[in-house]
Structure formats: C-alpha cells, structure tokens
Homo-oligomer: A and B are copies of this chain.
Amino acid sequence: MGELYLVGMGPGDLPGLTLAAKEALEGAEVVIGYSTYIKLLEEMGLLVGKEVVRKGMTEELDRAEEALERALAGQRVALVSGGDPGIYGMAAPVLELMEERGFRRVDGGVGLPGRFAQGGREVLLKVIPGVTAANAVASLLGSPLAHDTCLISLSDLLTPWPLIERRLHAAGQGDFVVVLYNPQSKRRTWQLGKSAEILLQYRPPETPAALVKSAYRKREEVTLTTLEGLKEAEAGMLTTVVIGNRHSRFFEGTLLTPRGYGLKYDLDTGEPLPGETPGLSLRRRDG
C-alpha cells in the first residue's frame, strides 16, 4: 500500500520543521511541491537521493493529482506545503480531488490518518501539521495574537471579493486581531488598502499593525506600522500582515495584545466606558 504524507514545512528554515515533518521527508521516496519550497528543502539537505517533482505556484491540483497517483501506485510520497497543510495549504485540494474521484474509506475509522481505496488500489493518508505563518510572524513581533484572532486570505482567485469584504467587516465588528494571508501580488494591488479602510470603520487609525516579509528566511523584514499606514503599504507574496485589536499596543519595539481585559471601549461607538478596570489582565487569577 502506498503512503501519502501532507507535510507542513513551517516558516521555511530547518529549525522551524517539526521532528515529524523531518522524519516524513527523510522516509519519502518522492517529494512533490511548489518550486520555492523544494528549493528550501534542497538547501536544508533533505532531498539527497530522492525523486523530486517541482510544480508552479498555481498548479495545486496537478500537485495533488501527481501525489495521489504515485501513492496509489505504491510509492511513499511527501507532498509539502509552506507553513501548515491545513491553512491555505494542500490538505483541501487533496481531499477534494479524492472526493471527486470517488475514493472510499476502507479502515472504518474517523479522521486521519486513514486508509482509502480507489479502483482496487489503496493509499494511507496522513497530515503532518506545521507552524503556520500566523504563528511564525507573531513570534517575531512579540504577542500580537494573544487574544481571539481571525485569519483571512485576501486572494480573490477562488473566493468572491464580496465575501472577503464581509469577513473584514465581521472581524471589525468582533474586534478580532486580524492576520492577512496573501495580502498583495503583482495582479492584486488594491485589496490591502481596501481592507485597511474597512477595518478603519471599527478601529482608530493608530491601531498597531505590522508587516512581516519572509519570516525565518533570507531577507526577513519586520515593519511596525498602524492601521492607517496599511492604506499605503507595500506588501507582496511573501508578506503576512497583522492588525491588532482595540487593546493592542506597542511596547519597546514589540506588538503586544494583552491576553485579557475588561471592556475598555463601547464596541459600537468606540468610546471609552466608565468604570473600566485598567490592568485587569495583570491581576492574578488565583489571587
């Protein structure tokens, strides 16, 4: 029986791999991935003696198809994703394709790992999670995600823009910390500015924000800014954007969202509430 491992690479440096991811890559006969990730794995020395299949960025379904076909043929395959396969990664395309092709579960189990069959052939499927960009980027900023957080991709290739806008409004209404994946590309230039404008309807212009480019890779770049500053910011394919909530603040070059708080603001009007409790989050819970 073939085996297909969907492997999360984390931010893209060797120390950012989990031990499980490293072991799955070492045990694989074939490694399949987007060419940028394959190059990073080559630099880590993890592809020596292996068959390697590199594909273009938009060829997600080709990657899924090739990985499934080879696993059905009996090979041990690692299909890599940057960050985590479950967050805008390869887990969904693989399962969607399996559904379309009529794969059936044969181990009677629930969840993954699982054994699936198609056309008389079997494959073992397992997802190996990794550190996603939100967490990698947060670790370079301080503690921006210490309270309830939304992940939103600004790519409208597969999602209608009106739904993305609706989610930005919801994130504003709920005072969520926001992490924007795929904020800009050569083709998509206005979405980041527009997102900032939407969130400015709910948060002050001075709300702390940050852009992190190439976290844990060569040419890593951390930029602190504000929600207002994002209106004119330059991002790109390798950048992740973080926008704080109403309680986020800068502390000595870091971005800090406190882990707990009283309702300091009326969330509808943005006005400070009377009788707020400053320093609540520093109160000892067991005190």
Which residues of A come within 8 Å of B, CB atoms? 8, 10-11, 14-20, 22-23, 56, 58-62, 84-89, 91-100, 103-105, 109-112, 114, 116, 127-132, 135-136, 138-153, 157-160, 162-164, 166-167, 169-171, 173-176, 210, 212, 222-224, 251-263, 267, 279-282, 284-286
Contacts and interface: CB of A to CB of B under 8 A. Distances in A.
Given A97-B282, A166-B267, 9 more contacts: A91-B146, A127-B143, A148-B167, A149-B150, A150-B150, A157-B260, A159-B261, A167-B174, A171-B174
B95 A254 contact: yes
Given A17-B19, A174-B170, A286-B59, A142 B262 contact: no
Contacts of A14: 19
A61 B257 CA distance: 16
A96 B282 contact: yes
B175 A259 contact: no
A85 to B, nearest CB: 7
Contact of A135 (B95, B99, B132, B163): B132
